Amino acid sequence: MTVINTNVKSLISQNALNKNNRALSAAMEQLSTGKRINSAKDDAAGLAISSRMTAQIRGLDQAVRNGNDGISMLQTAEGALIEVTNMLQRMRELSVQAANDTYAPQDRGYLDQEFQQLKDEIHRVSRATQWNGMNILDGSFVGDEGVAGKFAFQIGANEGQTVTHTLGDIGFRKAVIETEVTREPATGVAQQGTITLSGTYAAGDSVSVNLSGTAYSYTVIAADVASDDNDTNLAAIATKLKGVIPAGTATSTVSGAVITYTAAANNVDLAATVSRTVVGDEAALADIQDLDIATTPKASDALAALDIGIDTINSARADIGAMINRLTYAVDNLTNVSQYTSASRSTIQDADYAKASSELARTQIIQQAATAVLAQANQQTQTVLKLLQ
C-alpha cells in the first residue's frame, strides 16, 4: 500500500537506530568508566554481588591495617620488656656480688643504691610505656570485655572475627602505709596518731583502718588517681580515708598524704592498725618490689626472686612473640583473601575492553548505516508525488 501519512520504513529505521544508540551509549559508558556494571539495569544480580564483595574487600583491607597496628603495639611492649630483662639481669649480677663476704656493709650499700635505682626504673617503665596514649604494661587498660590488660584485635571483615591477647600488669606497684600511734598517758589528754600514705595506688586498692577493734575501709576509685602528680592522688585518697572514720570514734584532719586523728575522749587507748589490699600485688614482678641487697642474706634471697622475675618476663615475651607471629600470618592471609576477592569482583564488575571496544566499533558502523537507511526511507515517500503529475 502506498501511503504518505505513515512512513513505516522510516519508523522501522528509527527504532533500529534508537536501539543501536542505546547499545552505543552502553559501550561508551563501559569504556569511559572501566566498569561493566554502572547501574542496576546493567546487571541487577551482579550489582548486588559486587557490592557485597566491595564491603568485604574494604573490611579486609581495614583488618590488615588493624593487624599491623596490633603488631606495632606488641612490638612496643616487647621493646620495653627487653630493657626490663636487661635490668633484671643486672640486678641479679649485683645480688651475686653483694652475697660475697669480701664486701663490707658499706660496699653493699653502694651496690644496693644501683639495685634500688634499677628497681625503680623497672617500676617506671611498667607504668610509663604507652602506645597511642594508652598504658600497655600496667594492666590499666580495660576493654569491652571488662578484663584488665586484655586487648582484642579485629582481624576480620565481619563481626566476631577477633583475637585477644592479655598483657596484664607486667611490673609492680609500691603502695605503702606508715602508721604511727602516739600513746599519751592517762592525764586527761586525748590520744593521737598519724597515718601517712606513700607509694603508688590504683583503682581497686583498698585501705583499711582499725581503731580499737573496729575496721573502717575505703576502696580507691579511678577519680582518686586521675592526676599525673602522685602527691595529688595520695592527698585525694587520704581525704577519702579520713571521711570513713566516724567523728564519734575520733576526729581527724588531713594535710597532704598525712591523716592525723585524735580520740573522741580523753584517757581512751585508741589502738590503731592499718592494712591494705593492692590489686597490683598479683603483678608479674610483685615479688621484687621489696627486695634489697644491703646484707648477705638479703642478697642471697634476692637471687631466687629475681630468677622468678626473669622467667616471668621471658614467658611474657614469648607470649608476645607468639602473638606477633600469629598476627603476621593473619595479615598475610587477609591480604591474600582481599586480593582474590578483588579478582572475583573484577570478573563481575569490570569492563572487558576488548569486547567493549569491539561493541563500540560495531554500533558506530550500524549507526552510520542506519542513518543512511533512514535518509533513504524518508526519500521514498516523495515518489508518491509522481502519481499526481
User: What's the 3-state SS for 55-72?
Assistant: HHHHHHHHHHHHHHHHHH
* pLDDT one-digit tens code per residue, 140-187: 787 777 777 889 999 999 998 999 998 877 877 655 555 555 555 445
Q: Which of 38-47, 172-181, 183-192 has the highest mean pLDDT?
A: 38-47
The architecture that CATH gives domain 175-278 is 2-Layer Sandwich (3.30)
Domains 52-171+290-339 and 175-278 equal at CATH topology level: no
CB of 270 within 8 A of CB of 250? yes
Q: How many CB atoms lie within 10 A of CB 347?
A: 11
CATH number for the 52-171+290-339 domain, one of 1.10.3720.10, 1.20.1330.10, 1.20.1260.10, 1.10.730.10?
1.20.1330.10
How many residues in total does the chain contain? Answer: 389
Query: pTM of the full predicted structure?
Result: 0.68
CA distance 171 to 60: 36
CA distance 36 to 273: 81
Q: Where are the domains of the chain?
A: 52-171+290-339, 175-278
Of 228, 185, 181, 236, nearest in space to 207 by CA: 236
| Location of C-alpha cell 608476645 | 320
CA distance 143 to 152: 8
Ranking 27-31, 180-184, 213-217 by mean pLDDT, the lowest is 180-184
Of 222, 279, 200, 274, nearest in space to 244 by CA: 274
